[in-house]
Amino acid sequence: MMIVINDDNWESQITSEYSRGYEQRDRQSWPVSSSPHAKAFDIPVIPRSEWDDRIDEMERTKSSLRHILERHRINSLDQKSTNFCWTFGALTAITAIRAANNQPHIEFSGASVAAPIKNYRNVGGWGGEALEYIVENGVCSTKYWPTTAISRSYDNEESQANRRLHKITEWYDIDCSDDSVFDVVMTCVLLRLPVAVGYDWWRHEVCAIYPVKRGGGKYALGCRNSWGNDYGEQGFFELEGRKAIPSDAVVPIVFTGAIS
Amino acid sequence: MLAVAVVAIGIASQNVVLPVGCDLPAMFQSAPISESGFRVLIVEEAQERVKLPASQLAIFTSQELTNYCDAKCVKVNNTPEYRIYDKDIQFTNESDVGKKAMQIERKSLPWLIVSNGRSGYSGPLPLTIDETMKVLKRYGG
């Protein structure tokens, strides 16, 4: 069943039993695009006057990232009891990019990224930390590192060789202090660019995947969570109203070409 | 001159309607990829997608195109040899054929490469799914 989170029902979401872990980004220490490999978002925003037609085209041709993920039967990630949503949100974006590229599906390990960053503690973070780590070090397949295993024993020669195959080479850092941030994120998903979005009110990070038209000039953000397929529709759900405006947003653009 | 004459005969005898955006020399040529099997590659610049018409952007991930490619493309490691790659992609573990295809000369972006090992197309990506499908079906059946 589709879950829609909005300004009227959001409180029920922060008392749910699921783990989260997004930590409000320290903008003093991490100003926008200050990470070594991050670029400031410089794509022109698509005017709202074009959104309806573009969404209709996307629906008619079944060409959104959600359509692609469903066609490839790619499951929602599941962070289980970890506080690593900030990495799982980024990995959901990478998974969508690879699916759109028609690269073979690889299930990536959240813990192979988040655990080393946080010195093997089950604590929160924000998406840019995960992306920057994946630029430098890559991410492992779950064949070499179970996705929620917070253990140094998996950091071995095999897993290191595997993670080097899977790296981000370009990513955008979106300025969320700007009033237009919702329009920027909508522009991304209209362009089939998935966005890892963090929400201070929810203390949770998810991945924006597809645009939703509500009618009357209103729109929602179609996202995928990292709470497994049982949440929403195979992990997909929608954010609308002020609850759709992210506190932090990062966009992986290019991922290395690897068939395994 | 001989090549031009062959092109003209080909058009006349097969009554081909060129898709919008396809240039003539690109449409008729030997296989861009010499290995046997049907393969499709679209090379794009992800950061420039906003400049593309919505109808052209939809080609990349459309159900019609991806279903066709899933059915027709030769499979390597159980994956159809159909890719959409950013021009700046770095390969760490792609098939040799895929890597070679990325080195084919391109004059603009997005660029479409279609090959069945005997003949094919290497030229600008058409502007619509229908036009792109015509190119694909010409070489993929």
Interchain pair B49, A193: CB under 8 A: yes
The CATH number covering residue A53 comes to 3.90.70.10
Q: Which of A57, A165, A192 minimises the CB distance to B92?
A: A165
Q: Which domain holds residue A226?
A: 4-25+34-254
Of residues A76 and B77, the one with the higher pLDDT is: A76
Task: Output the CA angle A8-A9-A12, nearest 5 degrees.
Answer: 150
> Which residues from B are below 8 Å from A61, CB to CB?
58, 62-64, 129
The domain tally of chain A equals 1
Q: Hey, of B66, B70, B77, B133, which one would you mutate to test binding to chain A, going by the most A CBs within 10 A of its CB?
A: B66
B67 in a structural domain: yes
Buried/exposed B22-38: b ≥16 CB within 10 Å, e otherwise: beeebbbeebbbeeebb
Of A66-70, A117-121, B13-17, give the lowest mean pLDDT range.
B13-17
> Which residues from A are below 8 Å from B94, CB to CB?
257-259
A89 in a structural domain: yes
What per-residue confidence (pLDDT) applies to A33? Answer: 87
CB B22 within 8 A of CB B135: yes
Query: Chain B residue closest to A254 (CA)?
Result: B89
B63 in a structural domain: yes
Q: Which domain holds residue B88?
A: 21-140
What per-residue confidence (pLDDT) applies to B24? Answer: 52
Of A65-79, A165-179, A229-243, B27-41, give the lowest mean pLDDT range.
B27-41
B27 in a structural domain: yes
| Residue A67 pLDDT > 90 | yes
B96 is written with which tokens?
Answer: 């040799």
- For A73, counting Cβ atoms within 10 Å of its Cβ (0-12 exposed, 13-18 middle, 19+ buried), the class is exposed
Average pLDDT (A34-39) is 90
Q: Hey, of A70, A101, A193, which one would you mutate to test binding to chain B, going by the most B CBs within 10 A of its CB?
A: A101
> Which residues from B are below 8 Å from A50, CB to CB?
54
Interchain pair B49, A50: CB under 8 A: no
Pairing of strands B75-76, B79-80: antiparallel
Q: Looking at chain B, list the stretches that DSSP marks H as alpha helix, in order from N- to C-terminal side.
A: 2-14, 24-27, 54-61, 63-72, 96-101, 129-140
Interchain pair B85, A192: CB under 8 A: no
Interchain pair A257, B60: CB under 8 A: no
Percent of chain A past pLDDT 70, that is, above it, reads 100
DSSP string, A161-229: HHHTTS-EEEEEEE-TTSTTHHHHHHHHHHTT--EEEEETTTTEEEEEEEEEEEETTEEEEEEE-SB-T
> Which residues from B are below 8 Å from A257, CB to CB?
83, 85, 89-94, 98
To the nearest whole Å, the CA of A32 is away from the closest chain B CA by 18
The CATH number covering residue B71 comes to 3.40.30
A198 in a structural domain: yes
Average pLDDT (A85-105) is 97
Interchain pair B85, A67: CB under 8 A: no
Handedness of CA A108, A94, A219, A19 (dihedral sign): positive
The pTM for the full model equals: 0.92
> Which residues from A are below 8 Å from B90, CB to CB?
167, 169, 254, 256-257
Average pLDDT (A156-163) is 97
To the nearest whole Å, the CA of A40 is away from the closest chain B CA by 12
To the nearest whole Å, the CA of A63 is away from the closest chain B CA by 4
B73 in a structural domain: yes
**Tens digits of residue pLDDT in A148-158:** 999 999 999 99
| Residue A37 pLDDT > 80 | yes
How far is it, in rounded angstroms, from Cα B59 to Cα B135?
13
**Tens digits of residue pLDDT in A190-237:** 999 999 999 999 999 999 999 999 999 999 999 999 999 999 999 999
A127 in a structural domain: yes
pLDDT bucket at A174, cuts 50 / 70 / 90: very high
CB A192 within 8 A of CB A100: yes
How far is it, in rounded angstroms, from Cα A13 to Cα A7?
11
What per-residue confidence (pLDDT) applies to A68? Answer: 97
A259 in a structural domain: no
What per-residue confidence (pLDDT) applies to A88? Answer: 98
Which residue's entry shows tokens 């393969």?
A: B39
Q: Hey, of B41, B50, B72, B95, which one would you mutate to test binding to chain A, going by the most A CBs within 10 A of its CB?
A: B50
A260 in a structural domain: no
Computed over every residue of chain A, the mean pLDDT equals: 95
A193 in a structural domain: yes
Interchain pair A259, B95: CB under 8 A: yes
A99 in a structural domain: yes
- Give the residue ranges of chain B where pLDDT is below 70: 1-29
What per-residue confidence (pLDDT) applies to B30? Answer: 85
ipTM of the complex: 0.94
CA-based nearest residue to A129, from A176, A168, A165, A175: A168
B6 in a structural domain: no
What per-residue confidence (pLDDT) applies to B96? Answer: 86
Size of interface A-B (CB pairs under 8 A): 111
What per-residue confidence (pLDDT) applies to A27? Answer: 86
Of A3-17, A126-140, A196-210, B75-89, give the lowest mean pLDDT range.
A3-17
pLDDT bucket at A16, cuts 50 / 70 / 90: confident
How far is it, in rounded angstroms, from Cα A104 to Cα B79?
6
SS3 A247: coil
The domain tally of chain B equals 1
Query: Chain B residue closest to A257 (CA)?
Result: B91
What per-residue confidence (pLDDT) applies to B77? Answer: 83
Q: Hey, of B48, B60, B87, B92, which one would you mutate to test binding to chain A, going by the most A CBs within 10 A of its CB?
A: B92
Which residue's entry shows tokens 């990062």?
A: A250
> Which residues from A are below 8 Å from B61, CB to CB?
63-65, 67-68, 100, 192
